Copies of this chain bind each other. A is one copy, B any other.
């Protein structure tokens, strides 16, 4: 996926001279994940460059640039290192259009490598999407495949809204063969990655691949799981998911972030409300534990894998048994 993102940045910069790319180490080094590799050489240090090491300043200057017609694409080196910029993101980036009755648009893309699975030490593996998706005015998107990575980043850069572009860092090295450039569905639309009838897995970003593996295993066991990849998390158009769940009657939401107050809560709440009479079982959530992100040697305990997903699917009351909720399945398994 890293290569697709790199190509998207290059193509966008080549097409539009207003695109500038900056952040920490995005210049000569090409970013710590090499997503900006070669760009400063190709487009020059005025357009692709290293900034001082200050995330709030990075977002703040990007806001100013966008006010004067540039389309900055900035990188936060890791999820947790975007927190210093939280005020700029929440109080300015998200609100500027609204504050000015539409007079000032901020076409800024904030690229954030997020999530775990790469053995990173503390502060390098946060799934911070819920902080952004609860903030009106931001578009929050996350690709699950290399093709989407390319297409959605192009769209994000072309978009007149500020976009928090969450890159599932553990998938940077995923090598699905795609011919680039490629255009996929518009990013605001969720897509069915695999059709199925028995239950719906709702996923995004790093969990798309995991859910597809789970669905493959389930298929062997005779259970047909539909996998919906959300893509744009906010603002969210729930129609694809609700249509799917109305058909299957069962749903499991999966993400890496801690379950409590995570994005999955919104999905579960909304599906619970909109598909109430179609549900054969409660909407279950599978996600990270409600603890600080664990150290590298324990992250596998935190991250949802095929097993935990299938275990949740198994708990979807297939026998129509009456589950005594008091001792019933917990949340966050």
Between A and B, 14 residue pairs with Cβ closer than 8 Å are: A80-B90, A83-B86, A99-B122, A99-B292, A134-B257, A136-B260, A136-B290, A137-B292, A261-B266, A265-B268, A268-B268, A269-B283, A276-B323, A277-B322
Task: Verify B83–A84 contact, CB threshold 8 A.
Answer: no
Extra inter-chain contacts (15) besides given A84-B87, A134-B262, A273-B282, CB under 8 Å: A56-B84, A83-B91, A91-B123, A95-B122, A99-B292, A131-B134, A137-B292, A236-B260, A268-B269, A268-B272, A273-B283, A273-B285, A273-B331, A274-B325, A278-B325
User: Is A102 interfacial (CB 8 A cutoff)?
Assistant: no
Cα of A95 to Cα of B293 in the assembled complex, Å: 9
As a 0/1 sequence over residues 239 to 259 of chain A, the CB contacts with chain B under 8 angstroms (1 = contact) are 000100010000000000110
Q: A295 — nearest CB in chain B belongs to which residue?
A: B99
| Size of interface on A: residues with Cβ below 8 Å to B | 59
Least CB distance, A283 to chain B, in whole angstroms? 6
When all copies of this chain in the complex are counted, the total is 2
Q: Which of A35-93 contact B (CB under 8 A)?
A: 56, 80, 83-84, 86-87, 90-91
Of all chain B residues, the one with the shortest Cβ separation from A236 is B260
Query: Is A130 in the interface zone, CB < 8 Å from B?
Result: yes
Q: What chain B residues lie within 8 Å of A273 (beta carbons)?
A: 268, 282-285, 329, 331
Given A134-B260, A246-B325, A283-B273, the answer on whether A290 and B87 have CB atoms closer than 8 Å is: no
